[in-house]
Amino acid sequence: MIASPTTRRVLLLAHTGRAEARSVARSFIAGLTAHGLVVRLLAVEAKDLGVDHEEFGEALELNESEADLGRDCELALVIGGDGSILRAAEMTHGAGTPVLGVNLGHVGFLAEAEPEEVDSTIAAIVEGRYTVEDRLTLDVRVTLDGELITTTFAVNEASVEKSARERMIEVLVEIDGRPLSRWACDGVVCATPTGSTAYNFSAGGPVVWPQVEALCLVPISAHALFARPMVTGPDSLIAIEVIDRPDGAAVLWCDGRRTVDLPLGAHVEVRRGAEPVRLARLHEAPFTDRLVAKFGLPVEGWRGEGERRLRGAASSEGGEPS
């Protein structure tokens, strides 16, 4: 449970371009402030939501900048889909603010609550009835001829990809300082267990349970005999070097949000992130149940261990369970 400070603050971020998200966000603001919590908003989003100090007084904090947005907030409440949750993780990176998603997206794998659960979610926040999971992230470093170009991070994945549809890129991949293989391909995805159900999954990579600490490596449309998805240890160092791209171009994508153009010879290093992303959880449901629910997996006919035992006992007695 989360300890209650003197002033309890919740950062609220919403996909204000959607009418439903605006409505749900206003309901959360009204409910949380009515229970004595302070709600922090970006000023531009408050304008989109039509809320101001005249209505909520000091219970509403408006920030003009994204800098230190999560500071002193016990929770970042996100109204939107997985993209909005990744945006919130980016804004609060380094602050250690747990992120709680209310799903208004298509799948919402990172989200914990649904729009119709506003009242119960408000009650859980007010009463501190949620747990926090630390999820592995990625730190990414790009160099060229030994000189640093950029550093960034990712919650789901970092991918090196071609940026011209008609061309492939050629890369050399190494693990822990040793060469693994050279591929002519459309790209390479490096994913976390949290991101294993995102781009990694679409590219043919494995689904990894969140409690497993590992890194996924998936070549995309590689012209090679050895081009299978791989899973490395959590402390492995994955390096991808752009060694040839005739008339093409390569680009680094992180969580589908941040991009870096990669010149020929660029060296991309991906390792376990120094700072985890913290996800607030309202439910203790097994990850298997989340997979079934989010992907709509067919499980008709499953009876469960308890019912199998019951049926077995009834059969031995010559009857059927009532």
Contact 284, 113 (CB under 8 A): no
Report the domain count for the chain.
2
What is the CATH number for 34? Answer: 3.40.50.10330
Residue 156 lies in a domain: yes
Q: Are residues 221 and 179 in the same domain?
A: yes
> Does residue 295 form part of some domain?
no
Any domain includes 291: no
pLDDT for position 247: 56
**Which residue among 82, 145, 247, 255 is the active-site one?**
82
Both tokens of residue 214?
């590992």
Clarify whether residues 81 and 164 are in a common domain. Answer: no
State the Cα–Cα distance between residues 266 and 309, nearest whole angstrom: 59
For residue 3, being part of any structural domain is answered with no
Domain of residue 260: give its range.
138-272
Q: What pLDDT is stored for residue 88 in this prediction?
A: 96
Clarify whether residues 113 and 234 are in a common domain.
no
- Lowest mean pLDDT segment, chosen from 115-129, 180-194, 243-257: 243-257
Answer for the pair 253, 161: CB distance below 8 angstroms, yes or no.
yes
CATH code at position 252: 2.60.200.30
Given pLDDT bands bounded at 50, 70 and 90, which one contains residue 165? confident
In a domain, 297, yes or no: no
My answer on whether 229 and 254 are in the same domain is yes
What would the mean pLDDT of 235-253 be, rounded to a whole number?
Answer: 86
Eight-state DSSP code of residue 105: S
Structure tokens at 136: 């592995």
Cβ distance 248 to 162 under 8 Å?
yes
Between helix 118-127 and helix 19-34 the angle, nearest 10°, is 40
Same domain for 148 and 49: no
Beta-carbon contacts of residue 96 (< 8 Å; ≥ 6 apart): 70, 275, 278
Identify the three-state secondary structure at position 25: helix
**Domain edge (last residue) among 112, 135, 158:** 135
**Together in a domain, 25 and 42:** yes
- Inside any domain, residue 281: no
Segment 263-311, tens digit of pLDDT: 999 999 999 999 999 999 998 889 999 999 989 999 999 988 655 554 5
pLDDT digits (tens, 9 = 90+) for 188-224: 999 999 999 999 999 999 999 999 999 999 999 999 8
In the listed set 90, 119, 135, which residue is the last one of a domain according to the structure? 135
pLDDT digits (tens, 9 = 90+) for 73-129: 999 999 999 999 999 999 999 899 999 999 997 778 899 999 999 999 999 999 999
Residue 143 sits in the same domain as residue 268: yes
Neighbours of 252 (CB within 10 A): 25
Examine the residue annotation and report whether 82 is marked as an active-site residue of this protein.
yes
Same domain, yes or no: 85 and 172: no
